[in-house]
Structure 1
Amino acid sequence: MSFFAFRRRLSQGDEFVFQTLIGLVIGMAVAVIVMMFHELIDVAASASQFEDWPWWQRLLLPIAGAIACYALLQRHQNRAQLGVGHVIETLHRAPRHWPVTNAILQFLLTPVLLASGQSGGREGPAVHLGATFGAWMTERMHLPRNNLRVFVGAGAAAAISSTFGTPLAGVAFAMEVVVMEYTVAGFLPIIAAAVAASWLIGILVGAPLVSIPDLSSMQSPDLGWVLVLGLGSGLISAAFNWVVRTTAQHRPRFGVIWAGVICGAVGVFVPDVMGDGFYVLGDLLATPSVWQLLVLLLVCKLLVTGLSLGLGMPIGFIGPLLLMGAAWGALVGLASGAPDPLLTLIGMTAVMGGALFAPLAAVLAVIELSQQTDLILPAMTAVAIAILLHRLLGQEGLFVHQLADAGRPLALHRSNHPMHHLGVDAAIRNNVVQINRRFNGLPKPADVVVWGVGRRQMRAMEWLEFVKASNELAPGSDLATVIQGHTLERMHNDATLAEVWAHTRASHAQGAYFRHPNGRLNGIIWRTQLEDQFQ
């Protein structure tokens, strides 16, 4: 197969073998990156058993960490967009170059914030790192940009799979939360990345980076308590989203510093609210607790994390959502008279699924973490009720709402348009002849005739149209002045058809032309081709 035939298959999304191989590479690389990221967090937070800290340390360290964060973000304001929300916006805006330095800032900042006791999580930042690596691979290999969302999704799935050892949930998370669509072409590379990441972490570490107690021998919970669990999970996820959005709408100056003050003040009295809380999560799954402490943990974690996010603290919140859900599930277990870790597990994922609007990821996480297919029905029931109530209370996925509230709403009907899945080579017309601007007779026959009129602009006509127009031309005539032609704007060979359509429409051009790296004309695409086929 020639290189150009290979690129055409990539542009059409048909090169499954190569995409799958790249997915495997991304999965293994992201596994190593995320493992290093977790190790850095664990080293930075090695002394972070917050209940052992003196009260003044629990008060002052979050404030100090917030001040350092504020100073860093002020110094790098053009790189201050971090986390899964940034990944979603960047992917669906489809910039020419993916911002890699944001991910480097995320890699260094998250351990500092968690070690200082900020209430947040590490999973969202890990997704940011994985997605950025997938985008970086796409750009470095000069692949057609219709592959971008596939490999960004592969990186995101690998990050979740590495963290929890849940490849299926990682794939669903990438599709539901990041890419926001399911496509047959994208499944195989994303599955390959998730599986490769999980296998490599198993070989290098021997267990998922965030471990969950063994729940495989537990009995499926009673359906009545599952209904209660789903209702409460919907209320909690809706309340959390409301707190985040309301706080963001009334964010004061120095919001990040105020977030540190709130976390420190609450942490003095409730140290379990600090950090990502995974050691607390393990305790909730392993042993029952006192209901008063569970209520206190749930309320404080919801308020502190929600206020911190709304005030602009650049930290993940998937971990806190899991902890809130675990506290609620443990409460339901206590109310049932027989504390049940499976209710705690289902509560974790139901709250997360409601807040992120990711039902399939939540259900698959329950199955993979518990290793029990018998939990499909109770998990689906709780998650469905939680998401339904979440929607009835006027909330949607938090990432989407955050972007809309910031005045940057996603236009999914455009960003998920079929033209984003196809590259230039899927529609380019290669039977094109370029002639000199000064008319010197008819060239050899071709489908389209083009001539230059500027540094990055050409004009073109269909062959028969040009032949007819050239009948009255004298030798040496300036084609730019005597023939109107159709305006073509130069674009890069890696562009998607959606980018071609948007650029030509914005510049009022009738099409775009493309050159090989050696400067030779590659071909053209008429804007009417795209409008006729896709509009």
Structure 2
Amino acid sequence: MKKFSNRLYQSYTQAFQRRLSSVDALPQLALLGLLSGLVTGAVIILFRSAIEWPLRWLLPEGNPEGFEQLNIWVRSVLPLAGACALGLLLYRLPRNDHKTGIAYVIERLNSHQGYISWRSAVLQFITGVITIGTGQSTGREGPAVHLGSAFSSLLGRGMGLPHNSIRTLVACGTAAAISASFNTPIAGVIFAMEVVMMEYTITGFTPVILASVTGAIVTQATYGTAPAFEVPALVMKSLWEVPYMVFGAMIIGVMSACFVRLLIWFHRFSEHPIWLRLAAAGLVMVPFAALLPAVLGIGYDTVNATFMGEIGLVALIIIAVAKLIVTATTTGLGMPNGLVAPIFFIGATLGGAMGVLGEMVFPEYASSTGFYAMLGMGAMMGAVCQAPLAALMALLELTHNPNIVLPGMLMITTATIMSHELFGQRSVFLSILRSQGLDLRSSPITMALQRVGVGAILERNFRRIPQNLPLARARRVLKDEPRWLVIDGSDGPVAVMPTVDLARYVEEHAEALEKADEHEEEPLINLLAIPAQRRDVATVPFQATLQEALDRFNETDAEALLVQRTAAPMIQQVVGVILKPDIENYYQYRR
């Protein structure tokens, strides 16, 4: 009974994996999206608790963002001590272990089929807690996306899923992490597709949506349904503000370009030892922490104060510029900062300064400071991330106010176009990867082939036979009518050939084979010697995508690929055959 149950489970698992190889495995992907959302939500709760629990004990009044209330000497030394601790932690680790955050997730998705290791996840958890807990200019969202994507990837790998579905799981983890962090399920979906996946697919939306919703529900059950920011009632006062908004969006576009360029400029020191760079980043934080403590930590308290109009014009400008400089500098030097929260902080304070100035110059027409702060936050996110739709969705969900859509669209698109066209700016995450020597420019064909696993097109109608095939067995094989024959040599498969070639040979040499049968025990047919269209072979794992299979063809000059699945430890089972024209024909048909 146990053997039967194991066989049934294995059969179901293989069918599930095989179905996921297809581009339209919607029910299976939907189930994976739900699992990803649950796992990510739980991980985000654990990560957030690891940060907030000690801070509630250490910071005044139990406020996990109360760095400003610390003694001037304590708040000056704390970021430096945290930077030195991170430097000592990372110093003896390989350079690849220094990579964290959203840029790292994009790299793994595009260059490694979304495979993220346990080691990377654990290091991100530890470095994220230290970075945020010691008051660095950072945010939870970057580490949250890394952790959500990592655990979703590990979930897929543990289930032995094809690489194309693991890519979808990484997007699910990203969406769930953003959704759980801000209570913005729609923005989480769009951010995952626009910033991380960099593509929109109908099939991909469903699991990502389910993951985003599930992640939000899990965190809401713990932290409640309140949004990340306290947003007052917002309304656009007059259409006469439109030119002023366009001007403000242009300023934000320029500031976003300054932010990205400053970050990349400091990244040129990446060849120096990590401990030295992080120590320098900690020293940069010291004067800012002493004189402008608002730049410490995540800064949501300052953003909320900006929305409520509690900060003056000069203070807003100084804080915005200081936050921009310190975040870009420390991140460029290697501090594992999350960038989304600082981007929101800078945009909100710049927008708030616009609002205060507008109320001073034309009070009868200008909207509230909070209104402009929200618009500035969306515009800065759209420009820095080059993700206008994700920024607009975040803006709408954070305000719960449809009246902000029109001015939000205007400012976000203006700032995004300004930074892209005038300064040639790409997404900050792609800019970071480019500074590391990775220029991710996937063609539509590559992206289409990455969405499909080899299991969707492999030919399963084959027989695996020895090089020297007895005549009687050859006739039994021909009776079964397989399409391909996989020829085994002394060290495993060496070639494949069409079955029709064997049939032709047996038919043409039937008389000679019969005579040989009369004189010998049994005639043998040397399949590597008879006339046939044999093809040299290489292997590819069942989890591979069509793009990986195509790369394998190019690397090995093979004419056929044998798809292998792990049947037991150290045992690989051939489950199908793929030819290069099969991949080309599949893409042309699906297109």
| TM-score, length basis structure 1 | 0.94
- 2:387 aligns to what? 358
- 2:340 aligns to what? 318
Matched, 1:530 2:540: no
Cα deviation code 1:277-303 (max 9, x no counterpart) = 111111111233111111110111111
Structure 2 unaligned blocks of 5 or more: 1-7, 60-64, 517-522
Task: Report the CA distance shift for 1:51/1:205 in structure 2 as closer, same or farther (over 3 A).
Answer: closer
CA distance in 2: counterparts of 1:368 and 1:266, whole angstroms: 32
Matched, 1:28 2:46: no
The 3-state SS of whatever aligns with 1:227 is: helix
Give the drift of 1:431: 1.0
Number of equivalent positions: 534
CA distance in 2: counterparts of 1:331 and 1:138, whole angstroms: 46
Structure 1 unaligned blocks of 5 or more: none
- 1:452 aligns to what? 488
Greater shift after overlay, 470-479 or 219-228? 470-479
Higher alpha-carbon Rg: 2
Map 1:133-282 onto structure 2 (within 5 A). 133-208=151-226, 211-216=228-233, 218-219=235-236, 222-251=241-270, 252-253=272-273, 254-282=276-304
- 1:488 aligns to what? 537
CA distance in 2: counterparts of 1:34 and 1:359, whole angstroms: 26
CA distance in 1: counterparts of 2:100 and 2:403, whole angstroms: 38
Q: What amino acid is the match of 1:498?
A: Q
Q: 1:14 aligns with which of 9, 24, 27?
A: 24
Task: Report the CA distance shift for 1:98/1:465 in structure 2 as closer, same or farther (over 3 A).
Answer: farther
Task: Report the CA distance shift for 1:416/1:383 in structure 2 as closer, same or farther (over 3 A).
Answer: farther
Give the drift of 1:477: 5.5
Give the drift of 1:42: 1.5
The 3-state SS of whatever aligns with 2:443 is: helix
Map 1:321-340 onto structure 2 (within 5 A). 321-337=343-359, 339-340=368-369
Give the drift of 1:201: 2.2
Q: 1:75 aligns with which of 92, 100, 117?
A: 92
Task: Report the CA distance shift for 1:86/1:299 in structure 2 as closer, same or farther (over 3 A).
Answer: same
The 3-state SS of whatever aligns with 1:336 is: helix
Aligned CA RMSD, in angstroms, stands at 2.4
CA distance in 2: counterparts of 1:258 and 1:79, whole angstroms: 20
Give the drift of 1:189: 0.5
- 1:373 aligns to what? 402
Task: Report the CA distance shift for 1:307/1:206 in structure 2 as closer, same or farther (over 3 A).
Answer: same
Give the drift of 1:14: 2.3
Greater shift after overlay, 243-252 or 189-198? 243-252
Give the drift of 1:100: 2.4
Matched, 1:431 2:465: no
CA distance in 2: counterparts of 1:161 and 1:389, whole angstroms: 28
- 1:41 aligns to what? 51
CA distance in 2: counterparts of 1:354 and 1:94, whole angstroms: 28
Give the drift of 1:123: 0.7
The answer as to whether partners of 1:456 and 1:490 remain within 8 angstroms in 2 is no
The answer as to whether partners of 2:108 and 2:115 remain within 8 angstroms in 1 is no
Task: Report the CA distance shift for 1:346/1:494 in structure 2 as closer, same or farther (over 3 A).
Answer: same
Give the drift of 1:27: 1.0
Cα deviation code 1:364-406 (max 9, x no counterpart) = 1111111111211111110100110111212110111111121
Q: What amino acid is the match of 1:19?
A: L
Cα deviation code 1:289-335 (max 9, x no counterpart) = 11111111011111111011111111111111100001111111011
| TM-score, length basis structure 2 | 0.85
Task: Report the CA distance shift for 1:415/1:297 in structure 2 as closer, same or farther (over 3 A).
Answer: farther
Q: 1:304 aligns with which of 313, 316, 326?
A: 326
Give the drift of 1:481: 6.4
Task: Report the CA distance shift for 1:411/1:217 in structure 2 as closer, same or farther (over 3 A).
Answer: closer
The 3-state SS of whatever aligns with 1:433 is: strand
CA distance in 2: counterparts of 1:242 and 1:354, whole angstroms: 13
